[in-house]
Chains A and B, each alone.
Chain A
């Protein structure tokens, strides 16, 4: 009897733990990189090492951990030390598999870039940023 109660307590506790844990395991592979904020964690591919100066690319975004209803609404890239961003406006689309795709990205200079992602849910919004060092 005691054993059954213990098992039930363990089952409930494990379920609660799993439900509240970030689903990072799904996004933490080496094929991309993470952008973490207070309300959301996003996984972006390809990784910065795969990006080349002056070559157009598309960026796939996946929400790893966020409140229900959180959406990616905007992505941009800037060079804070240079006072400017890209000369192109990426187009963001929501794909059937739940990921987002930002097309039309082009980083035209080597150096420190910052990816800026805006996320929004019915209750809150946040701007997430990640530094990307674009090598020559």
Chain B
């Protein structure tokens, strides 16, 4: 009897091996209900882009093609040496790899990545614009960036034969017949039409997130264990997902996270505070005279209700983490060189540097070396290689 039972038991053991291996492999796929909700909220990807009602060129293929050319055209700068692509280099995830960007002079801020922009409420580190086209005009006029004027841009569009032809083809109006400010605004809108098409592709995280929802065993197994552990920290005890929320990994709002406020000795970068002041006086926003949006609709947009708060001081827009491994260095001033430095910042956060009226959720995470490495491994899965595949339509 025993002799007959032994082979059967052996067979059962052999047959069960893949099952137990499966259980081992899936240990890192176990998340709490709250973590799973957060993970689910990080998708689906890609998002369906929606046209910008304030920009009549949004989605216009002629404008998109012209915008791509203008994006790389140094004639939009006063000295003829700088284009948008000088600081937003496609091969560098549409950043420049520098701590702080250099135009005509050095600016206070790191060049933000410009992909997946259509779902944002605010643009720029300080949210000085509620339109992408308004934000696109800012560096053209900024004395430290491209340092041009509306008259400079109008002169280029009217005098340069190729630009005049493309402008008229896009706007149906000869630039010689347009006021300088209208040409500047249209230039911003045409640049924005192109930038709206810059989207990052699906990532390993997106495949894992979808597999987790559908229960796809093969898809679950394809995601690195370290990244799974990092994801658990990100959505769980790290509470990173609360601000880096949703498919874009940003809630689109502003926080002070303990990065120094001084742009240089004796001079403070006021962050969102200054951004809001600039927004309120700008002619290039949704409720301004240059918007193409129905003004009754624009009057109901979030930016029409924005609050001036004490906590705005020194706060910056939460950046999207899509493509994050390709956009070093990090933070508004580029002060953290690597993703490891970023994780260390949150793990060892200096509470003395936090805003007294800011987000009380921020506390040192006190992560172990392995937890830090896991979090970095997860962040790497938000980037699809090669980076230059940020897709244009």
Q: Which of A60-105 contact B (CB under 8 A)?
A: 81-84, 86-91, 103-104
B interface with A by C-beta (< 8 Å): 34, 37-38, 40-41, 241-243, 245-246, 251-254, 300-302, 304-307, 309, 311, 357-361
Judging by beta carbons under 8 Å apart, are A111 and B307 in contact?
no
Q: How far is the CB of B240 from chain A (nearest CB, A)?
A: 12
Judging by beta carbons under 8 Å apart, are B41 and A53 in contact?
yes
Q: Does A28 contact B (CB under 8 A)?
A: no
Question: A81-B361, A87-B309 in contact; A104/B246 too (CB < 8 A)?
Answer: no
Q: How distant is the Cα of A110 from the Cα of B42 in the complex, in angstroms? A: 13
Which residue of the partner chain, among A83, A87, A103, contacts B307 with CB atoms under 8 Å? A87
Query: What are the interface flags for A15-57 relative to B under an 8 Å C-beta threshold, 1 for contact and 0 otherwise?
Result: 0000000000000000000000000000000000000011010
Provide the residues of chain B in CB contact with A110, threshold 8 Å.
Answer: 38, 41, 241-242, 245
Question: A104-B302, A104-B305, A108-B253 in contact; A84/B37 too (CB < 8 A)?
Answer: no
Q: Which residue of A lies closest to B305 (CB)?
A: A104
Provide the residues of chain B in CB contact with A106, threshold 8 Å.
Answer: 302, 305
Q: How far is the CB of B354 from chain A (nearest CB, A)?
A: 11
Question: A109-B243, A110-B242 in contact; A136/B37 too (CB < 8 A)?
Answer: yes
Judging by beta carbons under 8 Å apart, are A90 and B241 in contact?
no
Q: How distant is the Cα of A25 from the Cα of B252 in the complex, in angstroms? A: 40
Which residue of the partner chain, among B38, B243, B357, B359, contacts A136 with CB atoms under 8 Å? B38
Q: How distant is the Cα of A136 from the Cα of B37 in the complex, in angstroms? A: 6
Judging by beta carbons under 8 Å apart, are A136 and B245 in contact?
yes
Q: Which residue of A lies closest to B36 (CB)?
A: A136
Q: Which residue of B lies closest to A55 (CB)?
A: B302
Judging by beta carbons under 8 Å apart, are B306 and A108 in contact?
no
Provide the residues of chain A in CB contact with B243, threshold 8 Å.
Answer: 109
Q: How far is the CB of A101 from chain B (nearest CB, A)?
A: 11
Judging by beta carbons under 8 Å apart, are A135 and B302 in contact?
no
Which residue of the partner chain, among A56, A82, A136, contacts B241 with CB atoms under 8 Å? A136
Judging by beta carbons under 8 Å apart, are A53 and B360 in contact?
no
The 10 tightest CB contacts between A and B, nearest first, are A104-B305, A83-B360, A136-B41, A88-B305, A136-B37, A108-B253, A89-B307, A108-B251, A56-B302, A136-B38
Judging by beta carbons under 8 Å apart, are A83 and B305 in contact?
no
Judging by beta carbons under 8 Å apart, are B302 and A88 in contact?
yes
Provide the residues of chain B in CB contact with A83, threshold 8 Å.
Answer: 357-360
Question: A54-B246, A87-B309, A110-B242 in contact; A104/B304 too (CB < 8 A)?
Answer: yes
Judging by beta carbons under 8 Å apart, are B245 and A54 in contact?
yes
Q: How far is the CB of A106 from chain B (nearest CB, A)?
A: 5
Q: How distant is the Cα of A104 from the Cα of B121 in the complex, in angstroms? A: 13
Provide the residues of chain B in CB contact with A56, threshold 8 Å.
Answer: 300-302
Which residue of the partner chain, among B245, B304, B305, contacts A109 with CB atoms under 8 Å? B245
Known: A54-B252, A84-B357. 15 other contacts (CB 8 A): A53-B41, A83-B357, A84-B311, A86-B307, A87-B307, A88-B307, A89-B306, A104-B304, A106-B305, A108-B252, A110-B38, A111-B242, A135-B37, A136-B37, A136-B38
Q: Which residue of A lies closest to B272 (CB)?
A: A87
Q: How distant is the Cα of A115 from the Cα of B160 in the complex, in angstroms? A: 57
Q: How distant is the Cα of A106 from the Cα of B304 in the complex, in angstroms? A: 12
Judging by beta carbons under 8 Å apart, are A53 and B306 in contact?
no
Provide the residues of chain B in CB contact with A88, threshold 8 Å.
Answer: 302, 305-307
Provide the residues of chain B in CB contact with A86, threshold 8 Å.
Answer: 307
Q: Which residue of B lies closest to A104 (CB)?
A: B305
Q: How distant is the Cα of A110 from the Cα of B34 in the complex, in angstroms? A: 11
Q: How distant is the Cα of A86 from the Cα of B241 in the complex, in angstroms? A: 18
Judging by beta carbons under 8 Å apart, are B245 and A82 in contact?
no
Q: How far is the CB of B224 from chain A (nearest CB, A)?
A: 24
Interface pairs (19), CB distance under 8 Å: A54-B251, A81-B360, A82-B360, A83-B359, A83-B360, A84-B358, A87-B254, A87-B306, A87-B307, A87-B309, A88-B302, A88-B306, A88-B307, A91-B305, A104-B300, A106-B302, A135-B37, A136-B41, A136-B241
